[in-house]
């Protein structure tokens, strides 16, 4: 299996809360984002294959086309963080419409910070 990403992700300097859209429960904090998926840091693992309606809080609404982003996703992977009291959870977006795509691009641009080597995979190469 090829574990290298095909899309470079942008790392976020500001962590947005990520909610389960149905229950309203905070799932974790956004730490990695691409047009096709996201990674959160969570207190709990999530079952791989679960469909989850995500809601991202956008911390500074005037920067974006909306004050939040709702997007349907599937849990692609879940593993312990380098800090064993947390989990990294990777989501694959099921489909992205034009407005969602625009907001994702705005988020990636607004919160990107320079990395020494943008092609290096994140802590877990599963996502």
Write down the pLDDT at residue 8.
Answer: 55
Write down the pLDDT at residue 14.
Answer: 56
CATH number at residue 102: 2.40.10.220
Strand partners for 41? 29, 88
Quote the strand ranges of 4-123, DSSP E.
10-11, 17-20, 26-33, 37-42, 51-57, 68-80, 87-93
Domain count, the chain: 1
pTM for this entry: 0.77
Q: Which domain holds residue 25?
A: 10-111
Q: What is the sign of the dihedral through the CA atoms of 94, 88, 56 and 106?
A: negative
123 within domain boundaries = no
Closest CA to 83 of 119, 34, 2, 29: 29
Write down the pLDDT at residue 45.
Answer: 96
Rounded CA-CA distance 100/50 in Å is 21
97 within domain boundaries = yes
75 within domain boundaries = yes
Instruction: Tell me the mean pLDDT per 10 residues along the chain, length 127.
Output: 50 73 95 90 96 88 82 97 95 95 85 43 37
Q: Where are the alpha helices (DSSP H) in the chain?
A: 98-111
Closest CA to 30 of 67, 55, 63, 60: 55
Write down the pLDDT at residue 92.
Answer: 97
Q: Which DSSP state fits 22?
A: T
120 within domain boundaries = no
């Amino acid at each position: 299996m090829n574990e290298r990403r095909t899309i470079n992700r942008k790392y976020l300097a500001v962590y947005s809360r990520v909610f389960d859209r149905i229950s309203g429960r905070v799932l974790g904090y956004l730490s990695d984002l691409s047009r096709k998926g996201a990674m959160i840091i969570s207190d709990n693992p999530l079952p791989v294959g679960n469909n989850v309606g995500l809601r991202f809080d956008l911390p500074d609404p005037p920067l974006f086309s909306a004050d939040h982003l709702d997007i349907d996703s599937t849990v692609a992977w879940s593993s312990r963080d380098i800090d064993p009291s947390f989990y990294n959870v990777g989501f694959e977006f099921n489909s992205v419409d034009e407005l969602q795509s625009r907001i994702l691009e705005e988020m990636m641009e607004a919160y990107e910070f320079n990395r020494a080597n943008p092609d290096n995979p994140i802590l877990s190469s599963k996502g």
